[in-house]
Structure formats: C-alpha cells, structure tokens
Amino acid sequence: MSGVFAQNQVEDPSSKKIIGTWYNDANRNAKWIFGSDGKLYNYDKDVFKVMFRYTISHSCQNNSDDTTEFITLMDKDGNEFCFKINAINENKNGILSLTKMDTMQPLRFVNNVNIKSGM
C-alpha cells in the first residue's frame, strides 16, 4: 500500500503532463501541441492552423468542480472553448481524454501516432 501512496506523491500536475504533441485519435493528421508557455498550437497535416492560449483550472465558463479539472482555450479574438479533462496519460497509456463542454462531445488524443485507435 505504501508503494502506491508514494507513487501518487510524485505524479506530475496536469499542467505538466499535458505538455507535448497530441494527435486526434479520429484524425491523426490533426495535432495539438501544448507548450509550457500556456500556448496551444493546432496543426492539420503539418500545416499550422491556429494558436490558443490555454489554462487548466477547476472552472471554465459555467462549469466549476473542486475535483474536476478543465482546460480553457482562448483564441486571438477572445473566444473561449471549455473542455473537461477526463484523463492525461493515465498509467502512461498515451491517451488524453477530453469532453468539449458545450456539446458534450468526447475527444480523444494520443501522444504517439502508432497507438492503436480506441474508437
């Protein structure tokens, strides 16, 4: 039991675990690159599409929960997009699971294009 406890102590925060390149599981040509500077770069077929600023917190738009983390994306025009974070690379499975809050659409990303699709 103490081994599990110690393992939990060293788990990185979501703001650190999300950094890197994530490929959309349904369309591997689409990728999101999260930087440590709070910027998210969106690419499609390696062509840059749009940059967002992102923040991770326990609230976004009308959603708030002490035990749930949300990611808020803001575009250059100030439009906000809210996602619930379901999981980030849990047990090193290479999966980022989000829910887009306005449509409740599940989004799944993988950090390696060779990971088998879960769809």
Q: Residue 51 and residue 85: Cα distance in Å, rounded?
A: 20
Name the band, by pLDDT with cuts 50, 70 and 90, for residue 33.
very high
- Are the C-beta atoms of 91 and 8 separated by less than 8 Å? no
Q: What's the pLDDT tens digit per position in 65-99?
A: 999 999 999 999 999 999 999 999 999 999 999 99
Over residues 41-65, the pLDDT tens digits come to 999 999 999 999 999 999 999 999 9
Long-range contacts of the stretch 90-95 (C-beta < 8 A, 24+): 95/25
Position 115 scores a pLDDT of 83
Nearest one of 96, 109, 98 to 71, comparing CA atoms: 98
Residues 6+ apart with CB under 8 A from 112: 23, 94
- The pTM score is 0.86
